Structure 1
Amino acid sequence: MAEKMDVHDIKETPDVESPRANMSASDLEIDHQAEKKLVRKLDTWLAPLMVLFFLVAYLDRSNIGNAAIAGMTEDLHLDSGKLNVAVTVFYVTYIAFEIPASLVLKKARPSRLIPFFILAWSATVVGSAFVQNYAGLLATRLLLGAFESGLFPCLTLYLSTFYKPSEQARRVSYLFVAAALSGAFGGLLAYGLTSLHGAKGLAGWRWLFLVEGVISIVVGILALFLLPDNFEVAWWLKEDDKALMRVRAEQVKIYAGESEVFDKHEVKLAFKDPKVWLSSICQFCANTCSFGFGTFLPLIIKGFGYSSLKSQALTAPIYFWASFIYLVVSYFSDRLNRRAVFMVPAALITVVGYAMMLGLNMKSTGPLYLATFFTATGIYIVVGLNVTWVSNSNAGYFKRATAIGLQQTIGNSSGIMAGQIYRFVAPDGRYLVGGAVSMSTMFVGGCGYALMWYLLRRINKQRDAMSIEERERLIQQGAKGDRHPDFRYTL
């Protein structure tokens, strides 16, 4: 974030007799119309890039499910166990590099590190089109996990340097909308590309990997030229925009923190904070559903009795619905500055969806398909809002970076489990183990969100009741970031 600045950096030098001369930027009033215009400009330039980056990431990550029902399992002689291992190993390298990636983002520069990730995994996906055996598939999945690992924590941290905490839920939601849309576009792309089976001697699933990999390479090249390191060097911001950004940075300095150099103490604070661990456990629960649902949805729908091609196409409406409902919820979450009140009901709706898929007669094809909409409704809401919540609840910079990285590391380790619980298919085509485990973990996650709300609310009340003497004593002892007595947690 920007260094502390005086009002002289924002407006023309005021009269020395004016009381405004002694005011910090955080005391200044902002022209709210100008601020709205600035935020719209940030959205115009940043949001499409964020959506595009995450869209291709999820396309390249989850297309293995589409490839599986398009002939890959037969061509590479994969039984169901080998396919699940291939899904699982992605998360082994994925979780290993998330914390390091978020910690080196500032020094490595976002404009270089993020495009590097995109180009590296894109080349890996192109290579996946030419694997000839199980070992080759495992190698590409391990590399894909390593290169994709840093994208989400880095983008979340990056967005927090442009937007206020009260604006972040909707902007992080764009990432998860991209994830949901990737399922929709992935199904449609798979439907079209796998129909190229035999063209140029390549199987349909190979065309799927090849074309999606090339698309991602183009996105990576665009990122090199379009992604600024910070608002100070954003070429699409005018000088008055940058001045306003500095004021905004001062206003939320207590939430952003003041760390400009690596601070090991803040990293340790994140690891010692019980709230970070609770958030991480909840993310593990939600991601178990997210990864299992996102990867195996074509196979789940096929189990309802649809053909392979129709199953690909039927995934699209589910993801479009999930995208729409998440955008609506994230908008009101920011507007009301509340998280748990949306997350707990969303988790329960997803639990109902899994219960329907487990309990309905397999001949009830229509109701079973409807159940997938219930399931999708809550998944992206709870995963996305929980990421925003942990970002809002940790300051300064390196504590927040570590908290995001730790949450994502623990949360994404669920991918190892998610790849295994869908190994077992009942005789009627139902994924009983996968559905039951997912339903249970989502219920536990919902309880965790309620507990987080209770804990943060109690801390806020304690700080509200704090005497002036207690407040001054804490400040003199060096309390800062989310330990500062003026810091209030979003509920």
Structure 2
Amino acid sequence: MTTPTHDEKAMEGSINEKDAQLGAIEEIHIDPVAEKKLIRKLDLILSPMMVLIFLVAYLDRANIGNAAIAGMNEDLNLTGNRLNVAVTLFYVTYIAFEVPASVMLKKLRPSRLIPFFIIGWSAVIIGAAFIQNYASLLATRLLLGAFESGLFPCLTLYLSMYYKPLEQARRVSYLFVASALSGAFGGLLAYGLTNLHGSNGLAGWRWLFLVEGVISMLVGIATIFLLPDNFETAWWLNEEEKILLRNRHENERIYQGQSMTADAMDKSEVKLAFRDPKVWLNSFCQFCANTCSFGFSTFLPVIIRGFGFSSVRTQLLTVPVYIWASAVYLTVAFFSDYFNRRAFFMVPLALITSIGYAMMLGVPMSSTGVLYFATFVTATGIYCCVGLNVTWIINSNAGYFKRATAIGLQQTIGNSAGIMAGQIYRITNDDGRYVIGHAVSITAITTAACGYALMYILLRKLNRRREAMSIDERIREIDSGKLGDRHPDFRYTL
């Protein structure tokens, strides 16, 4: 038997030392049956709360389109581009507070900040039922944007406290399904409530604002009592389930390259988000997709009425379009999580949406059925692209405050598209076709498809570079303080 030399012993000791450094933290074993049961419980209790909150938010935001064709334009003398200005001003205040709201969510407590948002905008919508002039409409839209500004980044960040990155696409998809369903629900409400025109001296569109505002107010009040700050204070989780969630977070911390901070505000993580080119690319893609999303969801009733349908029938015709968009998104989000892929779905769906816009641009206005079908084609990819891109930025940033800043930055840049979307849908010719709106939208969604492809290429390159690292290179990266998504063990979702 050969006795190891001094050099061989030294080499063996060096290897063992490196292995110890790389594997010092072992993954905690989790019972898959218990974990599956926990996820089911989260989906039955937490997700419906998030969906309901987001549904009433979009309901109150987009009802201006339904109100416009139900008599509001005539009652408030919204001539020229006044409706477009009112839509645009919502996003001026909407984009101003998104980053601060997401970064301060933990400090201000979700159980207080989120209900504050809901109750605030509900009061504004109720007040909007009694406005008498154009100036009052502008004031309500500015206030509505301010109160709704931080909701989405806060909700997505809140969901990331409970779900692992690979579980988040489907849960974030529920929020965008809620936004699509709000269009369907809003169309049905508009159809029913506008028939109350003249009851108690209120026009139909005023009833629409009043009833939807009251619904939102009730949701906001309920949220105060039902929404916990985190899973540690969740009244509907037992101690075993809280321990399981702690272990899941610890394993995820290991998987994500030891995410940097959890509680204390870390300015370095905020700076990292602003310096990350991937965050800016993702945000630019969100701007492009949101140009379509905001224009489509706000002006769909106006677009369909332009095909030659009556105002009352138009309210009902918006409903199937939103139901179709919801069904497609739920299906795509499921498979996106199942295969752990984002760009694979986003690029082709963006191109399908561009075909829908091309149809609305090129099909003769006399072909009413084909034009209505085109709205389904257009809706197919809009919500999928917007929603999966939000999930993508969550998956691509580790470190609580880096992720929070990235989400807030993405939403700020993405939602600034609303300023443009509110201005592009104007009738530019005698046949009622919205040429500028459709042309800008087809350009935006095609550009977004290119951006998604570029993001895929960049992230795949980073993953391959890390997979090719030697043990010495990994140790040097760790010793240099590269944590979070910069850690050599972190892998980006493609």
What is the CA-CA distance between 1:94 and the residue it aligns to?
A: 0.2
2:488 aligns with 485
What is the CA-CA distance between 1:423 and the residue it aligns to?
A: 2.3
Residue 270 (structure 1) aligned with residue 273 (structure 2): yes
Counterpart-to-counterpart distance in 1, 2:24 and 2:182:
45
What is the CA-CA distance between 1:25 and the residue it aligns to?
A: 7.8
RMSD: 1.0
Counterpart-to-counterpart distance in 2, 1:26 and 1:330:
31
2:203 aligns with 203
State whether residues 25 and 247 of structure 1, in contact with CA within 8 Å, keep that contact through their aligned partners in structure 2.
no
State whether residues 349 and 381 of structure 2, in contact with CA within 8 Å, keep that contact through their aligned partners in structure 1.
yes
- Structure 1: segments with no counterpart, 5+ residues: 1-22
Q: How does 1:74-473 map to 2 (within 5 A)?
A: 74-254=74-254, 255=256, 257-473=260-476
Q: TM-score, normalised by structure 2?
A: 0.94
State whether residues 117 and 147 of structure 1, in contact with CA within 8 Å, keep that contact through their aligned partners in structure 2.
yes
- CA separation of 1:26 and 1:85: change in aligned 2, threshold 3 A: farther
Q: Any idea what the Cα deviations from partners look like across 1:143-199, whole Å, max 9, x if unmatched? A: 000000010000000000100000000000000000000000001100000110000
**Which letter does structure 2 place at the counterpart of 1:141?**
R
Q: Any idea what the Cα deviations from partners look like across 1:314-348, whole Å, max 9, x if unmatched? A: 00000000000100000011111110000001100
Q: Any idea what the Cα deviations from partners look like across 1:397-431, whole Å, max 9, x if unmatched? A: 00000000000000000000000001234211110
**Which letter does structure 2 place at the counterpart of 1:240?**
E
1:69 aligns with 69
**Which letter does structure 2 place at the counterpart of 1:277?**
W
State whether residues 162 and 231 of structure 1, in contact with CA within 8 Å, keep that contact through their aligned partners in structure 2.
yes
Equivalenced residues, count: 469
What is the CA-CA distance between 1:395 and the residue it aligns to?
A: 1.2
Counterpart-to-counterpart distance in 2, 1:25 and 1:220:
42
Secondary structure in 2 matching 1:27: coil
Q: Mean alpha-carbon deviation: is it higher for 25-34 or for 303-312?
A: 25-34
State whether residues 25 and 251 of structure 1, in contact with CA within 8 Å, keep that contact through their aligned partners in structure 2.
no
What is the CA-CA distance between 1:477 and the residue it aligns to?
A: 1.2
Secondary structure in 2 matching 1:79: coil
**Which letter does structure 1 place at the counterpart of 2:112?**
R
Counterpart-to-counterpart distance in 1, 2:131 and 2:123:
13
Q: TM-score, normalised by structure 1?
A: 0.94
- CA separation of 1:48 and 1:56: change in aligned 2, threshold 3 A: same
Secondary structure in 2 matching 1:252: helix
State whether residues 92 and 142 of structure 1, in contact with CA within 8 Å, keep that contact through their aligned partners in structure 2.
yes
Q: Any idea what the Cα deviations from partners look like across 1:96-134, whole Å, max 9, x if unmatched? A: 000000011000000100000000000000000011111
What is the CA-CA distance between 1:377 and the residue it aligns to?
A: 0.4
2:477 aligns with 474
State whether residues 261 and 401 of structure 2, in contact with CA within 8 Å, keep that contact through their aligned partners in structure 1.
no
What is the CA-CA distance between 1:486 and the residue it aligns to?
A: 0.4
1:14 aligns with none
What is the CA-CA distance between 1:365 and the residue it aligns to?
A: 0.6
Aligned residues with identical type, % of pairs = 72
State whether residues 71 and 205 of structure 2, in contact with CA within 8 Å, keep that contact through their aligned partners in structure 1.
yes
Counterpart-to-counterpart distance in 1, 2:147 and 2:480:
42
